[in-house]
Structure 1
Amino acid sequence: MRLIFLGPPGAGKGTQSQRLVTRFDIPQLSTGDMLRAAVASGSEIGRKAKAVMDAGGLVSDEIVVGIVADRIEEADARRGFILDGFPRTVGQADALERMLKEKGLTLDAVIELKVDEDALIGRIEKRAAETLARGEAVRKDDNPDVFRKRLQEYKAVTAQLTPYYRERGLLSEVDGMAGIDEVTRQINDILAHAEA
């Protein structure tokens, strides 16, 4: 099972990914984790990434796709994987599609968690207020202003992937505002069709 989850920050992608990791015994691949591992390994692509990062630059799509290509060759990803945080742009999606095709692979599904952004902001504000009320520091991600900025970035760039994957017949939408178990049920229904 090879999947991509789409949806804005706070939509529940991480929660649902963890349930699928357990169900299918496949890894959730975070680009940040893969990048750090590639640099630590000293692989050729890792050295390229390190040089760019050390110079203060952003790692190119070519390098990120190379890191993903290397990672999905590892034994735990042979049965499939869930991509987390990648692709973020249509250019990355094109590069991913080409790389998978070269390996004789395709995506089984792209699942978008549809959410009410105002409700998400409300959740973050409530969580931040509760954290402060307990006398604890608010996580950076739980700062409503930071969260709004992340939502704007998502809408400006990553939301373009919705029509991209819809045109390819890969996109399925799930009501991300439903309860966690109901979201899981909807995802399982989509994956049952993808496996058929």
Structure 2
Amino acid sequence: MKLLLIDLDDTLLKTKIFKEELFKFFSNKYNLSTDDIKNVYEKMKHSLSVTDWILEFSKELQKKSNTTMNYTTNDLKELDFIPNTQVISYINKSDAKKVVFSYGNTKLQKYKLDRMNILNLFDDIIITQGPKLSLLHSMKNGVRIKVRDQLFDDITVIDNDSSFLKKVNSMFPFIKTVDVTNLISSNKHE
């Protein structure tokens, strides 16, 4: 059976555009520079909770800007969550089981997928709080990968992180990898 494990940030989602919009959104709301917003985000991004990371983030910005405004995830409705159409096109051509395979805040990752309106494209979603390589290793069953009690022998990982993909190639030689950067550049020439 075939399996596609597809990363979310900078693979399915154009994360750079999303972050630029997020920083502008908060910059306007708190009258802070986008650099100030980025600095707070970078300090907090790994410690934000799964309950409402936007509220935590806005409370930190509130301190910095001396205001009393708070925002929640609902306030992000005006932001665009832009899917990478080249990746979507690539995975739509496959008859494999399609699984989002991502590291991050579970609630936020699912929110991103929902906002991109692409949840229906996937058979499953696996979000880990730890390294994806460790999770992949725990799913290994000989030269196959096990997902939800189903074994797969034709596995492809699609990701934007070339160092992660090199480690996958080294540790799991039976898994094919697709670097989304190469996928995008090859589609430009078609």
Question: As a proportion of its length, which structure holds more strand?
Answer: 2
Higher helix residue share: 1
Does the alignment reach a TM-score above 0.5? no
Superposition TM-score, scaled by structure 1 size: 0.32
